[in-house]
Structure 1
Amino acid sequence: MPEPLKVAVAGAGMISWYHLVGWRSLGERVRLVAVCDPDTVRAAKRAEEFSIPSVYRDADAMFAEEKIDALDVISPRQTHAGWVDAAALHGIDVLCQKPMTPTLAESEALVRRVTGKSRLMAHENWRFRPWYRE
């Protein structure tokens, strides 16, 4: 069996619970390694709920101390681009909650900046629902 994907989560708000349940459902294929949020009390609560070993307030510290394969960005939307840029500098692949940025032009620029450094996927939870596609 291949090594598990080491995943960190950027953001410990309400939606993080749902994302962490999803990651946990992948079983041994994924190892949750860190939660990063300015509110370390909230981050520690999520870490305890999901047996995640590390909590960080600061992205730089997390990237310096952890071996991360993928980052799930579920922080407030105005912080998404910063997280994506920081992860790409470290060669970390990113799943980014929508919207990646406030405008299409900013999203296109973000994609250009990270191309060749990491893989980026925007998370749109309704993408395949018929009523949304219309």
Structure 2
Amino acid sequence: MKYEFHVGDYVETKDGTIGYITETGVSYIPYFKWTSGGIERFQELAQTAKEVARILSKLYNRVGQYDFTHPDELEKIQRLHGTQTRITFRNEDGVFVDLGFMRDKINELVDAVNELRKEKQK
């Protein structure tokens, strides 16, 4: 997920401090400054969106449009969607391939990985 923060965005920390973003930019990595009760604070982000999600979900409940109160949803791999109809074709070797079956097997793996990640976070 690519994050976008804007001046004026709402900020709420895990300890209940509430404020708003006063500046965004990039020095050697992206950052934003925010203020609460006249105190200016600084938050450096990270190189990848996954690292940003980890950092922000540990410190904040909300930054702008992003809600970090459910961090398990940030790490969840999405299942493949499609119709229940089986799509079958014959490959170069003359073997029939069922794409619906392959989608179902991939979704089983996605569910298993998501469950392992959920257990690891506990």
- What TM-score, normalized to structure 1? 0.26
- What TM-score, normalized to structure 2? 0.28
Higher strand share: 2
Higher helix share: 1
